[in-house]
Structure 1
Amino acid sequence: MDHEKREMLRIAEKLGVSVAAVEEEIKNLRLNDLKIVDLLPEMLIMVRSLISSETFLYKRNQIEAVDKGLLISFQNILDKPGDGAGITAGNPDSRPHVRITSSHLESEILFPKDIHVQQITILVELQYLKRFVGSDRNKLYYLFDTDKIFWIEEFMSPEMGILVGQLANLSLENVLSQAFYRLKALELIYMLFSNLLGREKTEYHDLSKDEINAVYLVRNAIASSLDKPPVKDGLVKLSGLNELKLRKIFTQVFGKGIYEYYNHLRMQQAAELLRQDNLSVSEVGYQLGFSNLSYFGRLFEKSYGLKPKKWQHQNAKLFVK
């Protein structure tokens, strides 16, 4: 086993993974890039780009490298901000997004066969984070409740994408690279927390593994047919939860109500189509199920600050292949 894979195993153990359980499977990984910045006991940063030749699943136990902390994972980081390569329509997991979990949450991690995994993972100790945020932590109280087990997913903003790219492309050989990583990681956390302040207000409760899985089933069903509005009864049946509980947990995890989340995905897909597929605004609108193109235009402008035609004209030039 080469040095990079041994280093990955060492860090995996700090992140709650049993080395014995994954030692064979990790031989299937082709590591394109691995950077580890160990700033424990305050923070650990891992940048990795890899492809597995076989699908495998492993369990992550409670993390003991910090007493209490947050595990923040920036998923599907792209080679350059705005690059749509690798984004699959109908699969929100292929889009850049952020997941935040409490360090004492047990979870399962999947490496799909032949899928390019690109991530930045930051483990940050809770007391250190409290000092960084200061009195404003009261606005994000749910992140600092050590008794709660939670799971949050947030869309990655373009500004976060730029900063993530800086972190991913920095060489560990650079002068004061650890100081730079710490600075940029904290800046990234600041941007993320600022985004979280815009989430729909809801109560935060302990979540079980089954409840998390249930809302992801619903989310995936919504994303698989963006041209059709979600049907309440079908989603309730799919989740196995009652309607009220489904709405509460969905909002807790994704920060938006079900219909608002659906429209947000439609706008993201509209932007991808407008800048990559040489489609007209009306063709994009109809493809995403809009019979009223004026409504489509208003919704797009609310999300991106420009009408679709003007946004397409400004952005298409940036993505000419």
Structure 2
Amino acid sequence: MSGKDNKQEMIYWADRLGVSITQYADELKVLQLNEIKIVDLLPEMLLMIRSVVAKKTFRFRRNPIKLIENGISISFLNTINSALTSSASYKKILKHLLPHVRIVPLHIESEVVFQKDINIQQVTIIISLDYLKMFLGKDHHQFAYLFDNEKTLWIEEVMSPELAELVNEIAGANSSKTLSDAYYRLKSLELIFHLFKNLMIREDIPHQNLTKYEIESVYRVRDKIAASLEQPFVKEELIKLSGMNVIKLRKIFTQVFGKGMYPYYQYLRMQEAARLLKEEHLSVSETGYQLGFSNLSYFGRLFEKHFGAKPKKWSQRHTKF
């Protein structure tokens, strides 16, 4: 499909979803749509696959999706993301774009951002809550917070290796394969199975209704944490940045990201450590010191906790020269 056809396909489905983007016609010119694939499994699900690069940073407000009256959007983001330049500024951007899954109710609006020169590959499943509840069966009660359509929830989950592998398999599949609808439905449900298995081990915390301000505030805090991984964040600065008291900030941060601020900070450091070992070919000591670890033994234990192997063994297994 040509770039022009890709854009027409995107505009057509945006209209069907009730989130028309025709008013952004001029802005859309900065988007290079490498691929867009829509698999219509309605009324239960809609699967969308896209690969896009923006010539300059572009953002717009996405209106509530109306095609499914009571549902959620599950987006698997940045399983493949690479800057078209290797400059330090773009590597810093990538720290904010680690592979992750975002769950958002269809009835709220959200901001969609395309960062300049960053290749974003995304697989999104829009699914009816009734169908999801049926799929989860008797275990659906463990996710009661998702089925309360009166609440405005926003959940971000880290991308496990099994999820990343599945997403890439779906994104690379040939849509003309035999029983393609059955294939995409099966793979979508497989993704949902693994995602909800991961959600079951999130830190247990009551889910409260979130305002637009609270969601934006907690992402400012997350971005501040991600911006400087080589030194510990200052809790008082994050509290001031969020505009909340410390108890409320902790609760909302954990609700959205599934872990507290310090565990999340350590998770980001370990992801960056893996990147430095694999892509920058730094030694274990160079990696540890660059990320602010004065105690390399502690760095090694923390890395092993996240990846199941000491950094040197992990690097030997994953680094290709």
- Do Structure 1 and Structure 2 share a fold, with TM-score over 0.5? yes
The answer to whether the aligner puts 1:10 opposite 2:12 as a matched pair is: yes
Paired letter, 2:72 = L
Q: Distance in 2 between matches of 1:62 and 1:277?
A: 41
Moved more, 209-218 or 114-123: 114-123
Question: Which consecutive unaligned segments of at least 5 residues does structure 2 have?
Answer: none
Task: Summarize deviations over 1:272-306 as a string: whole Å, max 9, x none.
Answer: 11122222212111111111111111111111111
Q: Do the aligned partners of 2:96 and 2:226 also contact (CA within 8 Å) in 1? A: no
Shift of 1:79: 8.0
Percent identity over paired residues: 53
Paired letter, 1:15 = L
The aligned residue for residue 66 of structure 1 is 68
Q: Distance in 2 between matches of 1:38 and 1:17?
A: 17
Q: Distance in 2 between matches of 1:313 and 1:56?
A: 39
1:75-90 to 2 correspondences below 5 Å: 75-78=77-80, 88-89=91-92
Paired letter, 2:290 = Q
Shift of 1:91: 4.1
Flag the 1:228–1:111 CA change in 2: closer, same or farther, 3 A: same
The aligned residue for residue 160 of structure 2 is 157
Q: Do the aligned partners of 1:200 and 1:255 also contact (CA within 8 Å) in 2? A: yes
Q: Distance in 2 between matches of 1:92 and 1:213?
A: 18
The answer to whether the aligner puts 1:217 opposite 2:223 as a matched pair is: no
Structure 1 consecutive aligned stretches of length 4 or more whose deviation exceeds 4 Å: none
Q: Distance in 2 between matches of 1:151 and 1:14?
A: 24
Paired letter, 1:241 = M
Paired letter, 1:185 = S
TM-score (norm. length: structure 2): 0.92
Paired letter, 2:317 = Q
TM-score (norm. length: structure 1): 0.92
Q: Do the aligned partners of 1:54 and 1:112 also contact (CA within 8 Å) in 2? A: yes
Pick from 173, 179, 183: which aligns with 1:180?
Answer: 183
1:10-159 to 2 correspondences below 5 Å: 10-78=12-80, 88-89=91-92, 91-159=94-162
Paired letter, 1:267 = M
Q: Do the aligned partners of 1:16 and 1:60 also contact (CA within 8 Å) in 2? A: no
Question: Which consecutive unaligned segments of at least 5 residues does structure 1 have?
Answer: none
The aligned residue for residue 204 of structure 2 is 201
Shift of 1:311: 1.2
Paired letter, 2:194 = M
Q: SS at 2:222's partner residue?
A: helix
Pick from 182, 191, 195: which aligns with 1:192?
Answer: 195
Q: Do the aligned partners of 1:90 and 1:225 also contact (CA within 8 Å) in 2? A: no
Shift of 1:198: 1.5
Q: SS at 1:88's partner residue?
A: helix
Q: Do the aligned partners of 2:81 and 2:121 also contact (CA within 8 Å) in 1? A: no
Task: Summarize deviations over 1:238-265 as a string: whole Å, max 9, x none.
Answer: 1111111111111111111000000011
The aligned residue for residue 271 of structure 1 is 274
* Number of equivalent positions: 314
Flag the 1:104–1:296 CA change in 2: closer, same or farther, 3 A: same
Flag the 1:56–1:78 CA change in 2: closer, same or farther, 3 A: closer
The answer to whether the aligner puts 1:302 opposite 2:302 as a matched pair is: no
Quote the RMSD (CA, aligned, Å): 1.9
Q: Distance in 2 between matches of 1:302 and 1:211?
A: 32
